[in-house]
Structure 1
Amino acid sequence: MNKINFLKESLKSLKTSGTLFPSSRFLASKILKGIDFNTAKLIVEFGPGNGVITKEILKQLTPDAKLISFEINDKFYNTLLNINDPRLIVSNQSADRVLEVIKDHGFEAVDYIVSSLPLTNIPKPITKSILKNSYKSLKSKGYFFQYQYSLTYYATLKDTFKGNVNLGFEPLNIPPAFIYTCQKD
C-alpha cells in the first residue's frame, strides 16, 4: 500500500488508525533497537497498518521465530496478507485477545510486543483490557513498546508495568512520537 492509499484509508478510519501518515523508518529503527532478535521466538505487533514496522521486524527476525500482527482495519489486514513470509501470522482480531491468539498458535508467552495502537482513541475499557492482557502475555523480563503522539498514557503504562517504563522521543516522524519502553517484572 503506497502513501497516498495509506492517507486515504487513514482518513476513512482515523479513529482506529490514529494517524494520517505511516511510521517513519527512524521511528521503526528506534523502537526495534530494543529487541534482541537473536533470542526472540515470538514478537507480537498491534496495529501494523500498512506494514512499515512489520517489514522491518521480518528483516531481522530469525528463521525459527514468529511474528503475530493484529490488525482490525480490513484494508490494512488485506495488505498485510500480501506479505509473503511464513514467519508472519496476521490476525484480524482486537489486540485485547492476545492471550487466546498466541495460545491458538502454540505459544505460552511473548518476548516482545510492538504497539502502534492509538490508545487515546480507543475506549478506556478496551485499552485497559489490551494493556492487562499484554502484560499477562509477556514472559518475565519481556518488553512492550508503545509509541504515541502525546504523554497521555504515561501514568497508565507506569501503573501497568509497575514503574518499569522508559520514555524516548523520535522527532523524525510525522508527527513526532514518544516511545514508551515497558518491561514486565
Structure 2
Amino acid sequence: MAAPGLRRFAEKFDDELKFFKGWIDKPKAVGSIIPTSSVTARRMASIVDTASGLPVLEVGPGTGVITKAILRQGVKPSDLYTVEYSHDFVMHLRRNYPGVNVIEGDGFNLDEALGDMRDARFDCVVSGVPLLNFPIARRVAYLDGLLKRIPCGRPVVQITYGPKSPVPPGFGDYTVEHFHFILRNIPPTQLWLYRRAARN
C-alpha cells in the first residue's frame, strides 16, 4: 500500500497530466497547462458563506482543486453544483467527488446547463473559466448570467492570469474589486470579485 505522501503526489501528478491533456485538446476551454494551486483554491473558496443556507455554484472546475477547497470550507457535496465543459474532466470529477452535482455543460449557457436548477439562487459563484480567451462582450454576458443567480451584494470570484480584471468595469450593472494576487501559482494569478449593488 502506498504511503499517504506518495499517494498524494501520484494524485497531483495525475491531475496535472489530465489538465495538460485538456489544454492540448481544447486550449480555449482550459486556461493553464497545470491546475490551480491549493493556495489559490483556498482563497477562492473563502468567499463562501456556509451560514447562508444556499447552495454554491462553481463554473469551470477542471480537475477539482477548487472543488475540494469549497468542500473543505464546509459546503456539503449535495449543496455544490459544478458546471464543466470538458467530458473528461466531468468523468474525473464524478469519480473523485461523489455527492457533488457535477453537470456537463457550457458555462456561457447556464440556463440550459442547469436545467431544472436554472432558477435556483446560489450563495456565490466560483469561476475558473478562462475568460481572456473570449471577447469582452461574451465575458460581460457571462458575468451577468452569474450575478442574476446570487443575492445582490454576494460575490462572483474569478481567476485570471492577466494583470487586469477580465471583465472590465463600466460595461454593466456590477462592481469590480481586486481580491488577491497570488505568486504561489503557476503562472502567478489574480483573483477578482464582482458584485451587483444591493437595492435600497
- Tell me which interval the TM-score lies in, with the shorter structure as reference length: 0.7 to 0.9
CA-CA distance at 1:93 after TM superposition? 1.3
Runs of 5+ consecutive residues of structure 2 not aligned to the other structure = 1-13
> 1:172 & 1:74 partners in 2: Cα distance?
29
Q: For CA contacts below 8 A with separation 6 or more, give which structure has more relative contact order.
A: 1
Question: What does residue 91 of structure 2 align with?
Answer: 78
CA-CA distance at 1:125 after TM superposition? 4.5
TM score, norm. by length of structure 2: 0.80
C-alpha contact 1:48 1:116 (8 A) present in aligned 2: yes
Residues 1:179 and 2:191 are matched in the alignment:
yes
> 2:170 & 2:37 partners in 1: Cα distance?
26
C-alpha contact 1:45 1:69 (8 A) present in aligned 2: yes
> 1:126 & 1:159 partners in 2: Cα distance?
11
Residues 1:92 and 2:131 are matched in the alignment:
no
Q: Deviations over 1:41-100 (max 9, x none)?
A: 2111111101111111122234486111111111111111113432x1111111133345
Question: What does residue 44 of structure 1 align with?
Answer: 57
Equivalences for residues 88-167 of structure 1 within 5 A? 88-99=100-111, 101-102=113-114, 104-105=116-117, 108-154=120-166, 156-157=168-169, 159-160=171-172, 162-167=174-179
Identity of aligned residues (%): 23
Question: What does residue 31 of structure 2 align with?
Answer: 18
* CA spacing shift, 1:58–1:103, aligned 2, 3 Å: same
Structure with higher strand content: 1
Question: What does residue 4 of structure 1 align with?
Answer: 17
C-alpha contact 1:157 1:182 (8 A) present in aligned 2: no
Equivalent position to 1:34, from 17, 31, 47: 47
> 2:52 & 2:114 partners in 1: Cα distance?
18
> 1:157 & 1:94 partners in 2: Cα distance?
24
SS in 2 for 1:55: helix
C-alpha contact 2:121 2:151 (8 A) present in aligned 1: yes
Runs of 5+ consecutive residues of structure 1 not aligned to the other structure = none
TM score, norm. by length of structure 1: 0.85
CA RMSD in angstroms, aligned pairs only: 2.4
